[in-house]
Chain A
Amino acid sequence: MIEIKMPRLSDTMEEGAVAAWHKKPGERVEVGDVLVEIETDKATMDYEAYEAGTLSEILVAEGDTVAIGTPIAMLDNGKDSPAPAPAPAPAPVEATPAPEPAASVSPAPSPAPSPAPAVAASSSRTVSRAVPENRGADGQFASPLVRRLAREHGLDLSGIRGSGPGGRIIRADLDSLVGAPAGPATPAPRHVARPVVATGPIVDARRASQEVPVTKARRVIARRLSESAQTIPHFYVTSVADAEVLTQMRADLNEQAVDKDLAKVSVNDLIVRAVALALREHPEVNASYLGDDSKVMQLHNRVNVGVAVASQHGLVVPVIVDADLKSVYEIGAETKSLAAQANGKGLSIEQMSGGTFTVSNLGMYGVEEFTAIINPPEGAILAVGATTREAVIVGDQIVPRHRMRMTLSADHRIIDGALAAQFLRTLTAFIEHPWRIVAAEA
């Protein structure tokens, strides 16, 4: 009997939630099978079985959160497995090296029907074990290439029947799903019963609704945003900043940048830095509510500003750690490289962890103003609109000025209206006197 424990899936993880069990008690588990989906603070990850056996008991139900190391299930790896294996595959024995093939056996692959000799798979983390080549048909084996493609395309492999040796899912099995231009065939979804939105009788197949798999990333976004919107009492404070000097200064900096071959500064880089400086003045905004059961709330002394990025894979929020200690150029370079990585191989959990405040900027799309949903456990998020020229009354004159609208969404449980307003006033002052953003002490 083996205790399956809540794994540590990232360095900062302290507890994890069981998002979904993929196996039921009594079900057979093979090495590499996805046992359970574990949700950390930033992502949901598959947790695979390191040992074969039968899942005998589930100790932590779906939705429950427990600390790392807490047993979440019991796996029976007893030698008296219910269905005797057809081949004389050695039963997995803990801490016993796999039997070596006899030295006299010709190791060159032979056309004989017997599978290649099982090879001991061992790593420093797991005990050595013999891995039989042939698996049951319900074993979810997929080649590494297939696993990667599934990750990249958000495919659910559970509905796919592998045609490779031992039922392994191979690249050819994905032909109809990956890269097929007009293929409506999506893998059979795991949950059969699901609501279908009817858009009326289908006259033209091209105008029928399509079913697109919900990627893991999308599922995480959905879950977290619902949770935030449903549980956090948001309130909103909007302020308009005069961005005339900021616009001028940025143009100036970038003119210099072209001459000196330096990177250009974006409005967002300046805002991130301004936010970081304003948070330093108002640490109560740089705070986290820890739940109704907690007797304390957290005020963060580090200022880690998340930047919402619309990546190819959906919304992600990479974190600029210690943004108050970084120059505008450093923030710009880091944001650029994180965004590139988000579009490429994707960001690591570490790169999306530890944020204390988020900036979401839709100004580049011409959005005038909007409200954002707080990214828990942060206390607030700033939604930044476009910088536009407006007619403004200065003295008795109507003059054209650059203006920018910013809306703070705050968690009202820990941030009062006056505090939010003071924070915005400080931030507005930075925007209106932008040299302070650049000149402020790191």
Chain B
Amino acid sequence: MTIKTYRQALHDTLREEMLRDENVFLMGEEIGVFEGSYKITAGLLTEFGDKRVRDTPIAEEGFTGAAIGAAMLGLRPVVEIMTINFSLLALDQIVNHAAKIYGMFGGQAKVPLVIRTPGGGGQQLGATHSQNIELYYAFVPGMKVVAPSTPADAKALLLAAIRDDDPVLFLENLALYNTKGDVPDDDTPAEIGKAKITREGHDLTLIGYSRMAYVARNIAESLAESEGLDIEVIDLMSLRPLDRATLVESVKKTHAAVVLEDDWLTYGIGAEIAATISDGAFDYLDAPVRRVAMAEVPMPYSKNLESAAMPTNDDVVNAIFQTLEAVGRRLKKVGQSHD
């Protein structure tokens, strides 16, 4: 085990996989000379040369398409799209090509492509640069979408994504890059499609992914200390495939659930989770499944408004308290700040 940041874990894993397999190569805007907008690819151009670390023009559709072609012919491209917002320019390539080639052409070509891209708002980047639109890809059969929330999971899921023969959208998060944690030294990949119970509990199931899985853990710990609550936390890890069994089993035990998401509520990932729970654990629910999500507005630029639009810790705590009160727990401190 080594303590690393999420950023460092990604960097080291990319480097290890490039050393392990010469078919692994990187493409993206500013990833070479500039070493990446978020410095994930620092030093890799110098070490591996410009054949394996390719700076591209500002043309997402073009370089994503080129990576799909390379993947079909046997290479294992890892594309960095600077933020998930820019992936919209490559939407047709991802949805209509990467996700469908294997199935449409009878399995003649696989597309072992990884698209690394960060989501997350809160950096005052405005409405078009602060979105959480991983749902668009999680919606599409043929895609895999993974979203680590810790440095260790970043490593394990990136290993799994690079070694997977299907196109994987690898969701990072701006707010997580500097978080630290223990990272195993061996290279055991995660199993894509498995959620992780990151905290066991009996009072309620709190579900999140990416930044919200991190938030969920922290809030569960803090409520354990301040209120003596015993909250079970699930990190989805993978949005497609979705590990429905783990969710259902947990709610069968706790009888209540709150789902956290950084994206918008309507039609969001939380809706899919809530439906999964209602389907699989209906007879075990003692209260409706609650969702906490962003306000249904384009993200404002103004700092105050941006903070108000994003789901806050208070929103999460309120949802937890309201759910627990609905199942008969009497709690005092609704609305108190846990920031």
Contacts and interface: CB of A to CB of B under 8 A. Distances in A.
A107 B326 contact: no
Nearest to A175: B328
Interface stretch (B29-37, B222-230, B284-292): B284-292
Interface of B: 255, 265-266, 282-287, 290-297, 311, 315, 318-319, 322, 326-329, 334-335
Interface in A130-178: 143-148, 163-165, 168, 170-173
Interface string A106-126: 111111000000000000000
A143 B296 contact: no
Given A170-B327, A170-B328, A107 B266 contact: yes
Contacts of B315: 108-109
A103 B311 CA distance: 16
Contact of B319 (A109, A170, A171): A109
Interface in A314-332: none
B150 to A, nearest CB: 25
A143 B285 contact: yes
* Max chain B Cβ within 10 angstroms of own Cβ: one of A108, A143, A146, A170: A108
Interface of A: 103-111, 143-148, 163-165, 168, 170-173
Contact of A173 (B265, B284, B328): B328
Nearest to B252: A145
Contacts of A144: 282-286
A76 B58 CA distance: 65
Interface of chain A: mostly helix, strand, loop or mixed: loop
A148 B282 CA distance: 9
A204 B297 CA distance: 69
A148 B284 CA distance: 8
24 contacts: A103-B296, A104-B296, A107-B265, A107-B266, A107-B291, A107-B295, A108-B311, A109-B290, A109-B292, A109-B318, A109-B322, A143-B285, A143-B286, A143-B327, A144-B285, A163-B328, A164-B287, A164-B326, A170-B328, A171-B255, A171-B286, A171-B327, A171-B328, A172-B328
Contacts of A106: 295-296
Nearest to A143: B286
A165 B318 contact: no
A117 B284 CA distance: 23
A145 B284 contact: yes
Contacts of A165: 326
A359 B282 CA distance: 37
A104 B327 contact: no
A105 B294 CA distance: 11
Contacts of B284: 144-145, 148
A418 B309 CA distance: 86
